[in-house]
Amino acid sequence: MSTPVLEARSLSFSYARHTAPVLDGWDAAFHAGQTAALTGPSGRGKSTLLYLLGLMLHPTGGDVLIDGTSVSGLRDGVKAKIRADRFGFVFQDAALDASRSVLDNVTETALYRGQPRRDARARAVELLDRFGVDVPPARRPGQVSGGQAQRIALCRALLSDPRILLADEPTGNLDPATSQIVVAALKAHAATGAAVIVVTHSPEVAAACDREIRL
């Protein structure tokens, strides 16, 4: 089988010393073109795992590999660059900047990657149109619905066509119709050759993914 796009080897994590580990020796591999659902009861470390895989937390043990290369020990600045270049993130509550326009929110990561602003804006307009975000690009996130906000967050995550897409409860606050749009978008992105990992409590979302990993 081909080298996984993203891999966790004996991954362990504790929030503080002398406390029980949230994760202890966890292994998993995620391949291009696949969607994986991380499921399980609250408090089992699903989101923590997602942040570890996304290089936002440093594991207390084990390693994270991207395309077979260990990245856990890299400097913070290098990890940030990897996040900007290779990852797309969809957070639980969309996490948009309420003080900036919809278009600015979608193009935010262009600055971190050094992508030309004009290219980013053109791509953003295309994505907003594709996901049916029917609001003026100058409008603020506070003036759109929750479903539209999550789709805007999805547009932001897809701006760079990332090889790895991490989504933390992307449908948590959405109605079934909007949830279907988001899940379809995640699967469509996986079909382009990306690895998509979704933390979810929704059996429907988990069922729609290629594999389910229970924690």
Partner 1 sequence: MKAFAVVREAFASAISQPVASILTILMIAGMIVTVMLTTGRTVGAEQRVLGSIDDAGTRTIQIRAENGAGLTSDVLDRIAGIDGIEWAAGFSAAIDATNTQIPDGTRVPVRLAYGTHLERLGIPAHSPVPGGLAYASPLALTQFGLPDIAGSITLTTGTSYGMAGQLHTPDFLAGFEPVTLIPQPEVTGDETVNVLLVIADRPDLVAPVSDAVLSVLAVDDPTKITVQTSEALAQLRQIVQTQLGTFARGLVLIILAVTGILVAIILYGLVMMRRKDFGRRRALGATRALIIALLLTQIGLLALAGILAGVTASTIILALSGDPQPGWTFTTAATTLAIATALTAALIPALAAARREPIHELRVP
CA distance 194 to 187: 9
Which residues, at least 6 apart from 201, have a Cβ–Cβ distance to it below 8 Å?
Answer: 39, 42, 169, 172
Least distance in Å: CB of 153 to partner 1? 10
* x/- letters, 59..78, toward partner 1 (CB under 8 A): -----------------xx-
Nearest Cα neighbor of 165 from 65, 87, 57 is 87
Which residue among 7, 89, 106, 202 contacts partner 1 (CB under 8 A)? 89
CA distance 185 to 121: 20
Nearer to partner 1, 156 or 189 (CB): 156
Stretch that binds partner 1, among 24-32, 144-152, 165-173, 190-198 (CB under 8 A): 165-173
Output the CA–CA distances (angstroms, integers) from residue 8 to 22, 62, 152, 161, 164, in the order listed.
15, 8, 29, 22, 14
Size of the residue set binding partner 1 (CB under 8 A): 35
Give the β-pairing of 69-70 and 61-66.
antiparallel
Which residue among 10, 43, 73, 93 contacts partner 1 (CB under 8 A)? 93
Which residue among 24, 63, 67, 85 contacts partner 1 (CB under 8 A)? 85
23-30 sheet: strands from edge to edge: 23-30, 6-13, 61-66, 69-70
Taking the CA atoms of the chain, what radius of gyration do you get in angstroms? 17
Least distance in Å: CB of 102 to partner 1? 13
**Is residue 150 close enough to count as binding partner 1 by CB under 8 A?**
no
Nearer to partner 1, 92 or 180 (CB): 92
Binding site for partner 1 (CB under 8 A): 47-48, 51, 54, 56-57, 76-77, 80-85, 87, 89, 91-93, 95, 97, 99-100, 104, 108-109, 111-114, 117, 156, 168-169, 172
